[in-house]
Amino acid sequence: MQARIEDAFDNKPAGGYREEHWKLFGEFKAALNAGEIRSASPDPSTATGWSVNAWVKKGILLGFRLGSIVDMSIDAQRQPFMDKATYPVRQFPADAGIRIVPGGSSVRDGCYIGRSVTCMPPMYINVGAYVGEGTMVDSHVLVGSCAQIGARVHLSAAVQIGGVLEPVGALPVIIEDDVLCGGNCGVYEGTVVKSRAVLGTGTILNRSTPVYDLVNGTVIKATDDEPLVIPAGAVVVAGSRAVTSGPGKDWGISIYTPVIIKYRDAKTDAKIQLEDLLR
């Protein structure tokens, strides 16, 4: 499949795409939905522990080329919806074990949603995303295109997980297993949050803002070649650091920075334990 997807993407047919390409895309999207292929995969040989599957991103972009804009409205007069025919809202059978609570949520076709995932309204999961088993996607959450969310993750209300389709070689945001993202967190620009980390309410993570690890006395930064990586078990909160020169110093200004205040322990686990009855 990889070779056929790359050929269809890199060598657009002069006479337009044919039936064989539509069939290929159908097989590709089915594999995305089943979790058999992913836009990024665990890879212990890399610094981040993950590698990009650029060909999968090419397949997703191929779908946008293939599809024409169609009317997807349930009621065109009251609420019109127009999108590419290749990416409708995904359908789930009841026996999939996935809860999508009524109230305005959407899961786009072409992403994996694991068993026992709970989706609280309104939330949105975009194409290419992977959401592992037992994860909670709370109200007003955005899971961006190709973002990889692990198992038993809690994305609290209004969490924003950035997405990336282009460039195809760019690593999407990775949230590993058993992570808690508190309300109004934002994780962007290919940041990797390792397993069991906790992001306190309002924490923002991206490539340009360093993270100060008070436990180890180090500063964690992204580089030109690698994204920001939050260590396993880190408890990160929103903090600030003083401007030390120029007018900012004179005016007493501080700027935002995330701070690791501790690493997860039994006390942390007790505070953030999810209620099993919700499942």
Q: What is the CATH number of the domain that holds 142?
A: 2.160.10.10
Residue 61: inside a domain? yes
Please give the DSSP secondary-structure letter assigned to residue 171: P
| Domain extent for 8 | 2-66
Measured CA to CA, the distance from residue 2 to residue 5 in angstroms comes to: 5
Residue 74: inside a domain? no
Contact 64, 84 (CB under 8 A): yes
Q: Which residues pair with 199 in a beta bridge?
A: 181, 236
Measured CA to CA, the distance from residue 77 to residue 47 in angstroms comes to: 52
Does residue 256 share a domain with residue 173? yes
CA angle 271/130/275 to nearest 5° reads 25
Q: How would you label 122-160 residue by residue, b for 16+ Cβ within 10 Å and e otherwise? A: ebbbbbbbbbbbbbbbbbbbbbbbbbbbbbbbbbbebbb
Residue 174: inside a domain? yes
Full pLDDT tens readout for the chain, 279 residues: 999 999 999 999 888 899 999 999 999 999 999 999 999 999 999 999 999 999 999 999 999 999 999 999 989 999 999 999 999 999 999 999 999 999 999 999 999 999 999 999 999 999 999 999 999 999 999 999 999 999 999 999 999 999 999 888 899 999 999 999 999 999 999 999 999 999 999 999 999 999 999 999 999 999 999 999 999 999 999 999 999 999 999 999 999 999 999 999 877 777 777 656 565
Does residue 152 share a domain with residue 222? yes
Write the CA distances from 258 to 6, 144, 206, 233, integer angstroms: 39, 22, 10, 15
Does residue 186 share a domain with residue 56? no
Does residue 253 share a domain with residue 121? yes
CATH, residue 20: 1.10.166.10
Does residue 161 share a domain with residue 204? yes
Q: Is 230 exposed, middle or buried (0-12, 13-18, 19+ CB in 10 A)?
A: buried
Pairing of strands 204-205, 198-199: unpaired
Q: What's the pTM value of the predicted model, to 2 decimals? A: 0.94
Measured CA to CA, the distance from residue 191 to residue 72 in angstroms comes to: 34
Residue 275: inside a domain? no
Q: Which residues pair with 192 in a beta bridge?
A: 174, 229
Residue by residue, DSSP assigns 117-140 as -EEPSS-EE-TT-EE-TT-EE-TT
Residue 73: inside a domain? no
Residue 276: inside a domain? no
